[in-house]
Structure 1
Amino acid sequence: MPIDGGGAGHDLRHHGDAEVRDGGAALVDLAVNVRADTPPSWLRERIAASLTGLAAYPDGRAARAAVAARHGLPVERVLLTAGAAEAFVLLARALKVRQPVVVHPQFTEPEAALRDAGHSVDRVLLTAADGFRLDPGAVPESADLVVVGNPTNPTSVLHPAQALAELARPGRTLVVDEAFMDAVPGEREALAGRTDVPGLVVLRSLTKTWGLAGLRVGYVLAAPETVAELERAQPLWPVSTPALAAAEACVSPRAVAEAAHAAHRIAADRAHLLAGLGALAGHGVTVTGPAEGPFVLVRLPGAASVRHRLRALGFAVRRGDTFPGLDGEWLRLAVRDRTTTDAFLRALEEAMGAAAEKGVAAERG
C-alpha cells in the first residue's frame, strides 16, 4: 500500500450534495448517503416540541447522558458536536499533531480539516487489487494521528475491529469514523464503547440513518482528557436545542431498535442493487465488495460520460475521482428502495450504451 504526501489532484471539499444541488427535485438522488425520505414522524414531533424552548440557551446534559448510556460509557467520554464534520475540525485544531496520516479512499473532510489547520498530511492509499482492505502494517510507525472510516465511505468496506485496534500505539490518536456503523446489521466490528484501545477516538453521526443532514448533530467518544481538550476548542453552545432533542431521541432504546431494523432492510435493498449490477458485469461494471454500508462503489468504463448521461435521464450519482486513491472510472451509488433501484438500473444500462456508442463514434471520427 503506497504512502502519498497528497495535497493535489483531488477536490477534498466536493461532497455528494453537489451532485444534486443544481438538478433539484428533478433528479433522483443516489449521490448522497443520507436516507432519501424525511425523518420519521415521531422524530419530527420530538424536534418540533423542542422549539418551545428556543428562548433558553441549549443545555446538552440530557443528550450527553443519553449518548453515554447508549454506549455504556461515563458522560466524561462523550462530546456532542454539530455533526461529525465539526469533530474533524476540532481534532485538527485542538490536538498537538506532528505526523497525521489519513487512510484513503475515505471521506475527505478529515484531511481537508487537517490541512486547513496547517498540518502536512500523509496518505495511506488502499487499493482495488486488495479490495480496499486495511493492512495495519502499512501505516507508518511514526504517525501520531491516524484517521480511518468504518465502514468506509466510499468503498463500503467494513474493516475488522481487530485490524483497527492494531493501529493503536502509545502516543498515537486513532480516529475511527463510524458515521455509517448503525447501518450495519448488529454494528459488527464497531469500536464505539470500547475503552481498552489506547488513544481511540470514535466519531458517530446521527444525520445519515435519521435523515437529519440539515440539523447537524453527531458525537465523539474518547478518553475524558481528549474530550476535555476538544471541548475547549468548541464555541459556546455548539449544538442547537433542536439538535440536542434529536440526539437524545435517536439514541433511545426505541430508536436504536428502529435503526437495527432499518439496517437489515438496507442490507436487503443493497443485495438487490448488487444483483442488478452483477447482471451488467458483461458491460464492464465491477463492484467493490463485499459492500457493508448503505452505498456501493463501482468501476466502469467511461464513468464520467455515464454520470452525465444519468443526469440527463434523471439520476444523480457520486463521482469517485475526488477521493484520493480513485480516478475517473469510479462512481458511488447510494442504496435505495427496490423500485428506485430498478429504475436506476434501467437508466444505467441505457447510459452505458449511449456512452459506448459515443466512444465508438469518436474512434471512427
Structure 2
Amino acid sequence: MDTHTPMPTEPGIPGHDLRHHGDAEVRDDGSALVDLAVNVRADTPPVWLREHIAASLGSLAAYPDGRAARAAVAARHGLPVERVLLTAGAAEAFVLLARALKVRWPVVVHPQFTEPEAALRDAGHSVGRVLLRPADGFRLDPAAVPEEADLVVVGNPTNPTSVLHPADVLAGLARPGRTLVVDEAFMDAVPGEREALAGRTDVPGLVVLRSLTKTWGLAGLRIGYVLAAPETVAELERAQPLWPVSTPALAAAEACVAPRALAEAAHAAHRVAADRAHLVAGLGEFAGAGLRVAGPAEGPFVLVRLPDADAVRRRLRRLGFAVRRGDTFPGLDEEWLRLAVRDRGTSDAFLRALGRATAEAS
C-alpha cells in the first residue's frame, strides 16, 4: 500500500502506544538524566513568571474567573473573545473536540502528537490516518487527505518531525462541513511565527490550538487555548466542566500573552533556532554511522533516523541522557529518535555521549 493512502483504524486495535510521551523517558528513574526527551524549554519558567503565578495564590479561595485571561489571549491574536476558549493544556482541547463535535470520519495526519487520535478513539470514533513519508521529508500532500474526511488534525510545526507546513497548504485543506484542526503548540518557538494560522478568520471550519506549557515551562500547570469560530467555541465550552482552568493557570495565561512575554518568547525562538543549527551540524558528523536528520527542522526538536536506534537510546541512558523513542508515533519505527534542542554546552555533551553510544554499536 502507498504510505500516502489513508489507512482507517478501529478503536482498541493494538498498535503504536499512543499514550507514551516524552516524560516517560525521564520519570521513575533513580539517576539524574539530562532531559532531551521532553519538548519543554529548559530553564523555565523564568523568575518573573514564577513570581507572577505565586502572587495569584492569595486568590485561591475564590472560584477561577477566566474573563481577563480570555480577553488577553483574544487581544494577543486580534480576535473577539467569543473566538477564544481557555483549556487545561492543549491536550484537553483534543478531548473536547473528540467528545463535543459530531463527526463521521476523523482523519489524523501522522507522524504527529498522538493524543488527538487517542482522544478520538476513546470517544468511540474510527480514525483514518494519512501517513507522511520520510522520502518526502514528511511534507504534506493535500491530495492524500480524503475529501470525505469531516475532521482533519495536523500539527504545525509537527511533533515529532519538526516540519513546518506552509500556511496556504493547510488552509487549502478547509472544506464546507469540515473541521480543520491545526495544532500550533510549538509555533511560538518558530521565529516570526511564520506559517501560523492563529488569528485567521477567513478559513472555514478552522480550529487552532495553542499551548503555553512548552515555551514557558508550565507543563505542570496545564494551560492552553483554542481559537475557533464562536459557534465551535460555544460547543466545546459546553463539554467542559465548570471552572476548568485554575486561578494560577489563568494568571500565567494573562502574563504569557503580554507584550513583555511576547518579546521574550520571540528572542527565545531565535536562540532555539541557533541552538538547533548547532545540534544539527554536530549530528551531521555521524552520517558515517548511518544517522540522518529529518528536515529541515523548524521546531525546538529534531527527528533522527539511526540504525539500531533503540539500543543507542538505552546506551545513552547509561551515559546520562534521555531521548525520545520514535516507534510510538504512527508512521515511524524503532529506528527513529526525537531530540529536544538544548543550549550548545548541553548539545556538545550529548554529541560526545552519542559518539560513545554509536561506537559501542559498531
Fold equivalence (TM over 0.5): yes
Partners in 2 of 1:274 and 1:69 — Cα distance?
36
Alignment correspondent of 2:324: 318
SS at match of 1:90: helix
Q: Which residue of 2 aligns with 1:61?
A: 67
Give the whole-Å Cα distance in 2 for the aligned partners of 1:308 and 1:2: 34
Who is 1:3 aligned against?
A: 6
TM-score under structure 1 length normalisation: 0.97
Deviations 1:290-349 (A, max 9, x none): 000000000000000000000000000000000000000000000000000000000011
How far apart, in 1, do the equivalents of 2:359 and 2:285 lie? 14
Residues 79-158 of structure 1 mapped to structure 2, 5 A cutoff: 79-158=85-164
The code of the aligned residue for 2:5 comes to P
CA distance in 1, matches of 2:261, 2:143: 38
Classify the secondary structure of the residue corresponding to 2:218.
Answer: coil
Unaligned 5+ runs, structure 1: 357-365
How far has the Cα of 1:4 moved from its partner? 1.5
Q: 1:25 to 1:242 in 2, by over 3 A?
A: farther
Q: Percent identity?
A: 87
CA–CA distance in 2 between the matches of 1:279 and 1:314? 21
Residue 340 of structure 1 is aligned with which of 343, 346, 355?
346
Equivalents in 2 of 1:275, 1:240: separation in Å?
42
Query: Deviation digits for residues 23-75 of structure 1, max 9, x if unmatched?
Result: 25610000000012230011001100000000000000000000000000000
- Output the CA distance in 1 between the equivalents of 2:15 and 2:211: 28
- Which residue identity does 1:181 align to in structure 2? M
What are the residue-to-residue correspondences of 1:184-203 with 2, within 5 Å? 184-203=190-209
- The reply on whether 1:167 has 2:173 as its aligned counterpart is yes
1:124 CA drift (Å): 0.2
Q: Could you list the runs of 4 or more consecutive aligned residues of structure 1 that deviate by over 6 angstroms after TM superposition? A: none
Superposition TM-score, scaled by structure 2 size: 0.97
- Superposed CA offset, 1:98-156 (max 9, x none): 00000000000000000000000000000001000011110000000000000000000
CA distance in 2, matches of 1:351, 1:114: 38
Unaligned runs of 5+ in 2: none
- What residue is the counterpart of 1:304 in the other structure? 310
| Residue 47 of structure 1 pairs with residue 53 of structure 2 | yes
Q: Per the alignment, in what secondary structure is the counterpart of residue 215 of structure 2?
A: coil
Q: Structure 1's 24 and 207: CA in aligned 2 closer, same or farther, altered over 3 A?
A: farther
Measure how far apart 1:3 and its partner are: 1.5
Q: Cα RMSD over matched residues? A: 0.7
Letter in 1 for 2:250: L
Shift in CA distance, 265/24, structure 1 to aligned 2, threshold 3 Å: farther
Q: Does 1:272 align with 2:281?
A: no
2:348 aligned counterpart, secondary structure? helix
Report how far residue 235 of structure 1 moved: 0.1
Letter in 2 for 1:4: M
Residue 97 of structure 1: CA displacement?
A: 0.8
